[in-house]
């Protein structure tokens, strides 16, 4: 079976399209992790994304804050951060705001690393998105950002111990709202 066969099979209804999108996110994530994992030297893609978040932040972040940003557990961030600390990319220090928390700080080695590796990463990103027109890229961006709303909705439903609305109920509400 080829991916195009699955695309055709799952393009017949909004519910099937939702299933296909969910599967695509998982599959695309795996493929991108493999591709970028082979191109980013010395660290995993997850470590690279953690370092990117640390560099982009204007203030020191805790394991918990970084976990929320990257969509993983505090423990996962802690494991990644200590591995990066051993490699000299970050330092981990007690928070000045909360004595129970630890903050992660970039080191000079991290800045040097990004100075050499980041241009190759940006080149790969440009190549990845070269198949889109500027309008398509904007639309994809808007829809991917909206996906966060769906994830938040699902998390809230799970936390409230309720079943999330079915796709049909959501689509019906949107249809009525747009009429």
Domain borders along the chain are 1-39, 44-131, 132-179
Per-residue pLDDT at 158: 76
Query: How sure is the predictor about 168, in pLDDT bands with cuts at 50, 70 and 90?
Result: low
pLDDT of 162 strictly over 60: no
Per-residue pLDDT at 174: 64
Residue that is written with structure tokens 């509400």 in the block: 173
**What percent of the chain clears pLDDT 70, i.e. is strictly above it?**
89
Could you read off the pLDDT of 97-146 as tens digits, one per residue? 888 899 999 999 999 998 888 878 888 889 999 999 999 999 999 999 99
Q: 87 or 159, which is more confident?
A: 87
Structure tokens at 25: 């996110």
Pairing of strands 90-94, 102-106: antiparallel
Per-residue pLDDT at 120: 82
Per-residue pLDDT at 5: 82
Q: 159 or 80, which is more confident?
A: 80
Could you read off the pLDDT of 47-71 as tens digits, one per residue? 999 999 999 998 999 999 999 999 9
Query: Is 90 exposed, middle or buried, given 0-12, 13-18 or 19+ CB atoms closer than 10 A?
Result: buried
- When the pLDDT of each residue in the chain is averaged and rounded to a whole number, the result is 87
Count other Cβ atoms within 10 Å, centred on residue 24: 15
CATH number of the structural domain 44-131: 1.10.10.10
Distance of alpha carbon 118 from alpha carbon 162, whole angstroms: 43
Structure tokens at 97: 């705001």
Query: How sure is the predictor about 169, in pLDDT bands with cuts at 50, 70 and 90?
Result: low
Query: Is 149 exposed, middle or buried, given 0-12, 13-18 or 19+ CB atoms closer than 10 A?
Result: exposed
Count other Cβ atoms within 10 Å, centred on residue 158: 11
Structure tokens at 117: 């590796």
């Amino acid at each position: 079976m080829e991916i195009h066969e699955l695309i055709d099979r799952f393009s017949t209804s909004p519910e099937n399209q939702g299933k296909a999108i969910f599967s695509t996110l998982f599959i695309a994530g795996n493929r991108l992790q493999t591709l970028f994992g082979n191109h980013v030297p010395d660290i995993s893609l997850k470590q690279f994304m953690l370092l990117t978040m640390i560099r982009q932040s204007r203030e020191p972040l805790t394991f918990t804050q970084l976990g929320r940003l990257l969509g993983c557990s505090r423990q996962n961030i802690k494991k990644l951060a200590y591995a990066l600390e051993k490699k000299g990319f970050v330092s981990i220090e007690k928070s000045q705001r909360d004595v129970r928390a630890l903050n992660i700080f970039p080191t000079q080695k991290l800045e040097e690393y990004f100075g050499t590796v980041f241009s190759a990463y940006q080149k790969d990103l440009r190549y990845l998105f070269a198949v889109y027109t500027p309008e398509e890229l904007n639309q994809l961006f808007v829809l991917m950002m909206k996906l966060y709303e769906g994830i938040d909705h699902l998390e809230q439903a799970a936390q409230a111990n309720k079943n999330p609305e079915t796709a049909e109920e959501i689509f019906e509400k949107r249809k009525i709202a747009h009429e």
